[in-house]
Each structure stands twice: as structure tokens, then as C-alpha cells.
Structure 1
Amino acid sequence: MAELSDDQKRDFEAAAFRRLLRHLSERSDVQNIDMMNLAGFCRNCLSNWYRDAAAETGVELSKDASREIVYGMPYAEWQAKHQREATDAQKAAFEASRPRDH
């Protein structure tokens, strides 16, 4: 494995995160419930983790602000444009596999 400096690791992790956000923005057809059912996390989880990271450094970031960073727009706007009502099958799968901390 390549020896990376802490700065390189941070920069590469940040670049990967930005690429993930771009990818999720381009794939607005993928619903959060599908992500939760398949991977155990979703856009809301990412926004919570972002807010947690900010709080660990003493920066207070609201839930709405962290969601806007992840969604690339206000959450309500994203919901209106892209969120569909979950099917009964999606809801059942979510309940069966829901992580305990969500």
C-alpha cells in the first residue's frame, strides 16, 4: 500500500466524498429507501455524518444545512422533485433490515 501523508488522505477522502455527492445527484432516481434497504445508509445518513463531523470540530451545522450540502438543494425541494411514495414491499424490507440507530 502506498504511504500517504495525512493531508493526502484527507484530500483524497474529500475528493471521493464530493464524487459520491455528484453521483447521487445524477442518480436522483435512486430512492433513499432503496439505498437503506440495500446498503444500510442513504443521503440523510450522509448528511447526519457530515453534521456530526462538523460538531466534532465545534462547528454547529443545522440538519437543514447539512442536508442541503448533501442533496445540493433544500431537502423539501429535492423531495418534491424526486421522492416517490415508498411501496409496501420497500417499507416491509426497510422494517426487516432497519439499522438500530436510524
Structure 2
Amino acid sequence: MSQIDEKTRTELEAAAFRTLVDHLQTRTDVQNIDLMNLAGFCRNCLSKWYAAAAKDKGLDVSYDEAREKVYGMPYEDWKAKYQSEANAEQKAMFEKIHSH
């Protein structure tokens, strides 16, 4: 890979982030617990990272505002429309993976 300047690198990373967010907004069938079990992060994690990055830049972006950016709607709306109760297998896997 050729040398990429800092501005271009940031633009590429931002484009990848936007594509990931768009993908997650489209794949409402994928539950957060599935993301956590398979990838170790979920939409809420991404929202926290977004809010933390804003804070690092001196911007006041709340967790709820960041979640709305990631979910594409207020979190409570997304939850009511798309979130299902985790089944026993999902919960057991989550406990196994994240119980340190």
C-alpha cells in the first residue's frame, strides 16, 4: 500500500465508519447480543466510542445523541421496533464470553 497522508487516512476511516453505521442500520435483524457474542462490540459500544471521540475533541455529544446517530433513530424507537428478547443460548454465550 502506498503512503497515505493523514487527511486522506482520516477521510477513508470516516467513510468506513459511515458504511458500517449504514450497514448496521440496514441489518435490524442482527441483535446487539449477537454482535457482542461474535465480534465483542455492538451498536451501543460504537455509540460510546463516538461520544468519547467527540469529548476528546471538546464537543458535547451525549450518549443518547451518539446512539441516535448509530441507530438512525432514537434508541427507544429502535428497541421497540427491532429488539427481541435474547434467548437462553444467546444469554449463556454472552455470560461465557464476558464473565471475567
Would the alpha carbon gap of residues 26 and 99 (structure 1) be closer, same or farther in structure 2, given more than 3 Å must change? farther
Report the Cα offset of residue 99 of structure 1. Answer: 7.2
What is the match of residue 14 of structure 1? 14
**Aligned equivalents of 2:49, 2:11: Cα separation in 1:** 18
**Aligned equivalents of 2:81, 2:2: Cα separation in 1:** 43
Alignment of 1:51-66 (within 5 A): 51-66=51-66
What is the match of residue 89 of structure 1? 89
Alignment of 1:23-62 (within 5 A): 23-62=23-62
Q: Please tell me whether the aligned partners of residues 37 and 97 of structure 1 are also in contact (alpha carbons under 8 angstroms).
A: yes
Say what the alpha-carbon RMSD is for the aligned residues.
Answer: 1.1
Percent identity between the two aligned chains: 55
TM-score where L is the length of structure 2: 0.96
Stretches of structure 1 lacking an aligned partner (at least 5 in a row): none
Q: Please tell me whether the aligned partners of residues 40 and 99 of structure 1 are also in contact (alpha carbons under 8 angstroms).
A: no
Would the alpha carbon gap of residues 49 and 99 (structure 1) be closer, same or farther in structure 2, given more than 3 Å must change? farther
- For these two proteins, the number of residue pairs brought into alignment is 100
Report the Cα offset of residue 59 of structure 1. Answer: 1.0
What is the match of residue 71 of structure 1? 71
Q: Please tell me whether the aligned partners of residues 48 and 66 of structure 1 are also in contact (alpha carbons under 8 angstroms).
A: yes
TM-score where L is the length of structure 1: 0.94
Stretches of structure 2 lacking an aligned partner (at least 5 in a row): none
Structure 1 segments of 4+ aligned residues over 3 angstroms from their partners: none
